[in-house]
Amino acid sequence: MKRILLALSLALTLAFFASPARSADVKASASVDPAQVGEPISPYIYGQFIEHLGRCIYGGIWAEMLQDRKFFDAPALNPWELVGATPFKQESDGKFVGKASPKWNSDNDDVFGVRQSNLQFVDGRDYVGYFWAKTAEGQKIRVNVTFGNGQNDSAVDVEIGRPTQIAEDGYCRYSFEFTAKNLSADKEFGSFAVLFQGKGETRLGCVSLMPADNLCGMRRDTLELLKELNSPIYRWPGGNFVSGYNWKDGVGDRDRRPPRKNPAWQGIEHNDFGLDEYMLFCRLINTEPLIAVNTGAGQVDSAIEELEYANGAAYTTQGKIRAANGHPEPYGVKHWCIGNEMFGDWQIGHMPTDKYALKNNEFVDAFRKFDPNLTLVSVGAVGAWDELIMRQCADHMDWISEHFYVQTRPNLVEHVEQTVHSIRRIAGAHRRYRAEFPELQGKDIKIAMDEWNYWYGPHVFGELGTRYFLRDALGIAEGLHEFYRNSDIFAMANYAQTVNVIGAIKTSQTSAQFETTGLVLKLYRNEYGVNPLKVEADRPYDVAAATTKDGKTLTLAIVNPTNDTVAFDVNFNGLKLADTAERFEISDPDQNAYNDPDSPQRIDIVKTTAEGVGNGVTVKPLSVTLYRIAIEQQD
């Protein structure tokens, strides 16, 4: 993912995107040819991509409420604050995890500890947590939670008793639970503190606080939406992040995994969500894994160890480690990316094309030696990079990765059509490669568009956390249509990045909601057909059609990027269709309409019944409309 910081001023945004008054209804035509059927649409076209960036995983997928829970920075720094005046230091000698751990030396009975504020709690919700500490004999320990910011704040005090676990180095694990009660509102901000009292030396290792309804450490509300999204494959862990990532930091005892400075982005990588958590994530939402390996700072030996950890039998070197971590059965990961955007000077380990070609071939030879049945995706970029890679690596790839991001245009139709033009440009380049390069003769190296999206606007949801509008949803729908029209050359597409950042779902501390773009991806994934039919239609409308796998249903999708109600005369060329159809609509009178996790949902998929679709259809302004129509007969 390219390191780009894009923002529009409010005044410019309002000027560009004010919706004009609706004009009179217009007529248009489309023709669906059931005799011209393209290759089946790969289900992986509905892929997703998650990266350790901003609030995609931490604050989006992962349920941990505390920031910097392992004290990468001293507690005197944000987000922690010190409580009391007891002498404190970050001590590397005897540390629990990372570079250093908090240490106090008390010579009196004053209270001391750490506090974190600006945490949001929900009235009546249960919370669970724990911390690791090493205390002097006789010291008292408690957890204090305060709700609200006024003088009459309500609070919870939890006295901590005996430890639930004692480590060899003397640190003890203490667990706690509480219910947020008597809040002045349904949701309220508050603070959380771990407090000690008594003479002697005290060390604090790490702390965790989560809603009690978390699913194996993941947010229940986010996972429920991800299940609805129903994406068949997720790419992880990056993105730029992977080129500086040591996968071994993310396995083993979660509390003992070292926190690191994020190698590519802002903030701290807690290493709470590593390969095992990712595989659990895939199982929880019933999706396939796609793992990118580090070809930047990383070398082939580490990548093969990662492959063995994921797929090796329990008697192999890395398989034994995986089994000891609680996962005796191999994960069987089939799809692997050989690096990310190695062509870019923003990438850790960026290298010239010929150097990457050698590295790619080295990695692929090693991966195929381990398992010849893997699907391996090499780094691509249309232009000089691709022209060398496609020739020097033709025998060392199954698919080739391409990425694109589009920004914004003042004209609505132009804004929406950017995705179509980008996909068409990339497909056209690869068709030329196939025709011109002798090395590609007899090969079918398909494209994995494993990053694609709009990317512009202010960061409302943390680092690169842009908001999406109805106009962007129209563009994502047209992008899907273009993938369908090129189903013979696209094996996969991964919308970036699923949660927060530039994602399809946005979260606050306590809520999650689909973006408009996420609604489009959910709709097409769950309702659209798999056998694409040739369609001709009047522009600027974008019309696509496909039959379902069993051939019994026609799906017809129309994107209307105008402020007109449009009556379509559709020629189905011999298809006899049922009189009644299912109709799914995503629309709003305002192209700037959006959903927000802390507000009532404004835009959703609206399902209704349509009559007489065989005689034509009418679609709303600024809409994505998808019909499912039973096929009764074909001439």
- CA-to-CA dists, residue 180 to 214, 462, 512, angstroms: 16, 26, 20
Q: How far apart are CA 202 and CA 198, in angstroms?
A: 9
Q: Which two tokens stand for residue 215?
A: 């699913």
All domains of the chain in start order, with CATH: 41-63+224-525 (3.20.20.80), 80-211 (2.60.120.260)
**Which pLDDT value is given to residue 148?**
84
The answer to whether 438 and 390 are in contact (CB under 8 A) is no
Q: What is the DSSP letter of 56?
A: S
Q: How far apart are CA 60 and CA 205, in angstroms?
A: 24
Angle 226-494-516 from CA coordinates, rounded to 5°? 55
What number of other Cβ atoms are within 10 A of residue 406's Cβ? 20
Q: List per-block mean pLDDT (blocks of 10 residues) for the chain, which spans 635 residues.
A: 38 39 74 97 98 98 97 89 96 95 96 97 97 97 88 80 96 97 92 97 98 98 98 98 98 98 96 98 98 98 98 98 98 98 97 98 98 98 98 98 98 98 98 97 97 98 97 98 98 98 98 98 98 97 98 98 96 94 98 98 98 92 98 76
What number of other Cβ atoms are within 10 A of residue 376's Cβ? 20
Q: How far apart are CA 199 and CA 215, in angstroms?
A: 39
Nearest to 126 by CA among 89, 72, 180: 180
How many helices (H) and strands (E) are present in the chain, helices listed first? 10, 32
**Which pLDDT value is given to residue 298?**
97
**Which pLDDT value is given to residue 635?**
57
DSSP string of 252-320? S-GGGSPPEE-SSSSSEE---S-HHHHHHHHHHTT-EEEEEE--SS--HHHHHHHHHHHHS-TTSHHHH
**Which pLDDT value is given to residue 3?**
38
The answer to whether 378 and 397 are in contact (CB under 8 A) is yes
Q: What is the DSSP letter of 219?
A: -
Give SS3 for 340: coil
What does the chain come to in residues? 635
The region that residue 364 occupies, defined by phi over 0 for left and psi between -120 and 50 for alpha, beta otherwise, is: alpha
Q: Which two tokens stand for residue 484?
A: 């369908």
Q: How far apart are CA 222 and CA 284, in angstroms?
A: 12
What number of other Cβ atoms are within 10 A of residue 414's Cβ? 13
**Which pLDDT value is given to residue 293?**
98
What number of other Cβ atoms are within 10 A of residue 539's Cβ? 10
Residues 6 or more apart in contact with residue 196 via CB below 8 angstroms: 104, 106, 111, 112, 113, 133, 135, 139, 140, 141, 202
- CA-to-CA dists, residue 119 to 115, 180, 556, 611, angstroms: 11, 12, 46, 51
**Which pLDDT value is given to residue 297?**
96
Q: How far apart are CA 592 and CA 474, in angstroms?
A: 11
116 alpha carbon, distance to own chain's centre: 27
